[in-house]
Structure 1
C-alpha cells in the first residue's frame, strides 16, 4: 500500500511539474481548440482575416491593462480600480478633444500624466500609508467611476476627432507591416544568438544549435502568418502595434533590468528583499504608477475605438485584466509571471468574448463562462504549486 501511495505521489508531482513547465504550450493548445470550435460553429467566419483583425483590436485594451496588472500581481498586490480608471481617463481624453479641441499630442501627454499621477496615488496609499491594495482598488473603483459620471454628466461625449479615432481604428500601411516582420525576425535571431554566446561565456549548458534554429524558424513562421493574415484585410491595427511594442518593452524590463528583478523579489519574499537593502515601498509605488499609465493608454485606445467617451467604459475591465494574468500563469501569491503569458491569457479572454458574441450567446452566459475560467485558472495555480 505504501509503495502504491508513493508511486501515486511521484506521478502526481511529475504531472504538476510537467504542467508548470509547459503551461504556455498548454494555453496555445487551448487557444487552438477554442478557435477550431468557434470556426466550426460559425462555418469559418471566426477565422476570417476581418474577424481576426477585429479580435486582436478588441484584445488590445485588455492586453494593455494586463501588461500593467501582471507587474502589480507579481509584486504581491492587486488593483481593482483599473476598469474605472480606464473609463475616467478615456472620458477625460474625449472631453479635452470634443469640448476643448486640444491638439492630439497635448491631449495624449495630459492623459498619460493624469494616469501616472493617479497610479502613483494608489501606490502611495498602498506602499506608504499601508492600506491593503484590495481596499485601495475597491475604493478607487467606486471613486473613479463617480468622478467619470460627474465630469461627463452621465452622457456620452462624441464625436471625437479623426486624429484620435486613428489610434483605435487606424491600420499600419501594408509595406510597413512587412518591414516590421523582417525587423522582428532579425531581432529574434540576434537575441537567440546573443543568449547562446552569453551562456557559453558563463560556462552554462547550451541547447543544441538545431533547437535554437527551429525556435527562430517557428517565430519567423508565426510572424509571417500574422502579417499576411492582417495584410489580407487592411493591415496591422494601430492598437495591436502598440501592444506589440509594450510586449517588447515590458519583457525587457522584467528580464533585463534591476527594477524588473526587484519586482519579482518583492513578490517572492518582501521581508528578505527589504533586509537586503531594496526600497520595497518605492518599487511598489512605481509599479502602481506604471499601472496608471497603462490605464491611460487603454482608455485612449478604447475611446478612439468607440469614437466616443462613454460613462460606462471600462466596466468589468479589472476582471478581464486579472483573469488574463492568472490564465497566463501569473501566480496569485506573487513573485511569478510573464508579460507574454498575460497577453496569451488576454487572447483567450478576447477569443471567448468574440466567439460567443458571434454565436449570439446571452450576456449572462458570457459572464458565467469568464468567471468560471478565472476560478479554474486560480485552482490550477494553487494545485500546481502546492507542496513546493
Structure 2
C-alpha cells in the first residue's frame, strides 16, 4: 500500500490575496484602529457634531443653499493659507506674516489694475509673484542664515504691513473690474442644464465622490499588501458612504443656489495637488522627516536647508493666491486687510490635527480644521452673537485642540 504526503498549501501572493482580504476581513479590531487614529478620527466626528449643533441652533439656516455658498466664499482664503501653514508646522516652523502678505499682494494688484489700468490678469500674476518673492525672503533668513522662523516672520509681519501702507499710500482702492471680481465671486452654472438646479455642480460632486472612493480603496489594498492594519470591510464601506452622502448633500445645496463657485474649484485643485505632494513625493516625506526628527533627517541625507527654503517660498505663493481671492472678494484693497489671518490659518492647522512639535499633520485635516472655524464663526453670526464672544469661543477651541495633542503624546509615551 502506498502512502501519499499531503500537499503543502499554496500561499497566495500579496497581490492575489489583497482584494479578497479587503472584501471579507479586517486586519485589526475597529476599536483598536479608532483608538490608534483618534486624532484623525476625532476631528471628523467633531466637525459633524459642530455642524449638527449650529444647524439646530439656527433652525436649519446654516445648511441652507445660500448660506453654504456664503461659507465657501467667505472663508476660502483662510483655507488656502491653511494649506501652506500646515506644511510649515509639519516641518517645525510657523509663519506669522501671512496676513500682512495678503494685504501687500492685494495692494500691489489694486495699484496695477485700478490705478494704472492694467488688465485684471496682470494684477493676479503680480500679486502671486510678490507673495512668492516674500516667501523666498523668509526662506533665505530661516534656511540659510539660521534664524528662527518665529522671529523672521514676526519681523515680516511688521515689515510687509508697513510696505502695504506705502504701496496704497494709506488709502483704500476700489473697485476692481468685473473679471477680477469673478475670481472669488464667480460661478460655473448652466453648462449642462437642470430643472431648478445646476446639473454640472452635481456631476462634479459625483466625480469627486468616485475619485475619493477609488483613492481610499487603493490605499486600503496597499496597506493590506504591506500587512498594515485596516478597519473591517463593512466599517470601510460605511465610512465611504458617509463621505459620499456629505459631499453629495453639499453639491445638492450648491446646485440649488448659484452653482459651483470658481474659488471652490481653485481650492479643490490646491487640496488635491498638495495632498498628493505631502503623501506621495520625496519632498513631502522629507518635510515630515524634518519635523519628526531633524537630526535623523540630516543623517539620512535630507537637504534640510533646501527643503526649508522651498516650503517658505510655497507659503508666500499661497499667501499671494489668498491675497488675490480676498481682494477679489472685498472688491478692493485696504491697508488693514488680512488682519489676524495668520491666527486663523494657524488655528485651522492645529485644530485639524497638526502637532505643536512638528512631524504630524495633513492637508485634509487642516481643511477640516478651517471648516470647523468657518462653521463656528458663521453659526455664531447667524445667532447674533457679538464679536468678542466669538473670539473667546475660537480661543477656547484652539486651546483645547493643542491640549488634546499634548495629552495624546503623553499617553503614547506612557504606553511605550
Calculate the TM-score normalised by the size of structure 2: 0.84
Q: Which moved more, 1:71-80 or 1:56-65?
A: 56-65
Match of 1:338 among 353, 357, 362: 362
* Cα distance between partner residues in 1 of 2:343 and 2:140: 23
| 1:168 pairs with 2:192 | no
* Cα distance between partner residues in 2 of 1:372 and 1:198: 39
Q: Which runs of 4+ in 1 moved over 6 A?
A: none
**Count of residues paired in the alignment:** 374
Question: Residues 140 and 45 (structure 1 numbering): CA distance in 2 closer, same or farther, change over 3 Å?
Answer: same
Is the contact made by 1:331 and 1:381 (CA closer than 8 Å) also made in structure 2?
Answer: yes
* Cα distance between partner residues in 1 of 2:78 and 2:404: 22
How far does residue 73 in structure 1 lie from its aligned partner after superposition? 0.3
| 1:157 pairs with 2:173 | yes
Determine the structure 2 residue equivalent to 1:376. Answer: 400
Is the contact made by 1:262 and 1:283 (CA closer than 8 Å) also made in structure 2?
Answer: yes
| 1:313 pairs with 2:337 | yes
How far does residue 31 in structure 1 lie from its aligned partner after superposition? 2.8
Deviations 1:19-78 (CA, angstroms, capped at 9, x unpaired): 661334333333333333333333332221111111122221111000000000000011
Is the contact made by 1:123 and 1:285 (CA closer than 8 Å) also made in structure 2?
Answer: yes
Determine the structure 2 residue equivalent to 1:39. Answer: 55
Determine the structure 2 residue equivalent to 1:5. Answer: none
Is the contact made by 2:98 and 2:341 (CA closer than 8 Å) also made in structure 1?
Answer: yes
Secondary structure of the structure 2 residue equivalent to 1:365: helix
Determine the structure 1 residue equivalent to 2:380. Answer: 356
Secondary structure of the structure 2 residue equivalent to 1:28: helix
User: Structure 1, unaligned stretches of length 5 or more?
Assistant: 1-14
Q: Which moved more, 1:344-353 or 1:68-77?
A: 344-353
Calculate the TM-score normalised by the size of structure 1: 0.90
| 1:96 pairs with 2:129 | no
Which residues of 2 match residues 59-70 of structure 1 at below 5 A? Answer: 59-70=75-86
Which residues of 2 match residues 209-224 of structure 1 at below 5 A? Answer: 209-224=233-248
Q: Which moved more, 1:98-107 or 1:137-146?
A: 98-107
Match of 2:348 among 315, 324, 328: 324
Structure with max Cα Rg = 2
* Cα distance between partner residues in 1 of 2:36 and 2:160: 37
Determine the structure 2 residue equivalent to 1:9. Answer: none
